[in-house]
Structure 1
């Protein structure tokens, strides 16, 4: 099976510092892959190369076998890559439903000069996406009054608007209560596995990582130091030393 995502020898240096140094991995359709590591390990730089925000100094990025190295973020988004961010990006004065409509309109490449036509576009599709993430009952509420956990679910619905084959999720549970974190990632896993969507996520909450990831990759100093099933990574002595606090497994 062709991987949904393949990173091949990615390198990015800032001056004399190699933020990412020869990182390679693959991600299968429907797989949940966590990328973890201490602060400064290179996670964000790696993510930004995959998403097209940063061009690698060396290496390749392939989506379903297609070389997309150096393409801008919008071009990569149009190829079926959704992304969520550590800080949510929604229109606070618009309703939940209208935020999802705007994402759908963008995916359809429609430019509308007036808001009124937009209100008639993609209602059913937007409602279906909100149902998938458990937000259908809040469709008419302004985003500005939502709880933070609900904003994260809305952002997931918007990320699904381009019918992605790959989701890149940067700290998806940041700022959420522990129960909300588990619920959001359970919803994400269910959506991903039902639709065959590959998910790569960074996360500092190890309970979330070891509960929901199929595999875990660990970065330290820009290099991958471990990778595999969650329990194997948790027990790895080097991982425990540099990230999980040391001590016996």
Structure 2
């Protein structure tokens, strides 16, 4: 099987600091892959290189066999890479459906035409995406009054408007209540299964990671120190020592992780 994403020897230096050091991995179609590690491990730097927001110091990134080196973020987005961020970036003055409509207008390359009619364009598609993430009943509300968890779900709908084959989610549950975290990642897992989208996500909540990830990678000081199944990562002594100082990553009785 050909991987959707192939990363080989990816590196990034900031002066004397090696933020990402020779990282290599693959992501298959329909796989939900978690990238974890302590603060400063290089997770966001890695994401920014994958999306073209940072130029790598070395290594290659291929999407469906195409080399992404030198491409701008918008060009990479056009190839089928979506992204959500730690802090949501919706238009607060617009309604929920208008935010998704804007994403669809951009996807269909209509951003410079028919702007006076923008509020009428792609409404059905926008409502379908909002229904997918459980936000259709709030379609006419302004984003400024939404709860944070609802903003996260809206951001997911916006990312899906481009029909990505690869979705990068940088701490998708940051700032959310525990129940909202589980709900959002279950929604993401359902989308992965139904649409075959490949997802790479970073996360600090180990309950979320171990409940939903198909596979887990661990970064420490820019280096990939482990890559395996949930059970393999949970029982990896080096991961326990480096990531949590030897603590328990996840309790088998379902109690909260010591993170």
Q: TM-score range by the shorter chain?
A: over 0.9
Relative to 1, partners in 2 of residues 1:38 and 1:248: Cα closer, same or farther, differing over 3 Å? Answer: closer
Query: What residue in structure 1 maps to residue 255 of structure 2?
Result: none
Residue 63 in 1 paired to residue 63 in 2? yes
Q: How does 1:1-249 map to 2 (within 5 A)?
A: 1-112=1-112, 115-247=115-247
Instruction: Classify the secondary structure of the residue corresponding to 2:120.
Output: coil
Confirm or deny: 8 A CA contact 1:112 1:118 kept in the other structure. no
Structure 1 residue 109, shift from structure 2 partner: 1.3
112 and 247 in structure 1: CA distance in 2 versus 1, 3 angstrom threshold: closer
| Distance in 1 between residues matched to 2:87 and 2:208, nearest whole Å | 18
How many residues align? The count is 249
Which runs of structure 1 show a deviation greater than 2 angstroms over 4 or more consecutive aligned residues?
111-116
Structure 1 Cα separation of the partners of residues 136 and 148 of structure 2: 16
TM-score, length basis structure 1? 0.97
For the Cα contact (< 8 Å) 1:56–1:70, is it kept in 2? Answer: no
Partner deviation per Cα, 1:103-135 (whole Å, 9 max, x = no partner) = 001111112466531011101110010011111
Q: How far has the Cα of 1:248 moved from its partner?
A: 6.3
Q: 1:247 to 1:181 in 2, by over 3 A?
A: closer
> Could you state the TM-score of these two structures normalised by the residue count of structure 2?
0.94
Alignment partners' CA distance in 2, 1:103 and 1:114 = 15
1:193 Cα shift?
A: 1.5
Q: Specify the SS of the correspondent of 2:245.
A: coil
Deviations along 1:36-64, one digit per CA (max 9) or x if unpaired, are 00111111111101010011111100001
Corresponding residue SS for 2:127? helix
Q: Distance in 2 between matches of 1:35 and 1:188?
A: 15
Q: Are the aligned partners of 1:133 and 1:187 in contact in 2 as well (CA < 8 Å)?
A: yes
Distance in 2 between residues matched to 1:193 and 1:44, nearest whole Å: 25
SS of equivalent to 2:193? helix
Give, in angstroms, the shift of residue 247 of structure 1.
Answer: 4.3
Cα gap change, 1:248 to 1:89, in 2 (>3 Å): closer
Q: For 1:81-113, what per-residue CA distance to the aligned partner results, in whole angstroms no more than 9, with x for missing partners?
A: 000000000011110000000000111111246
Distance 1:25 1:69 in 2: 17
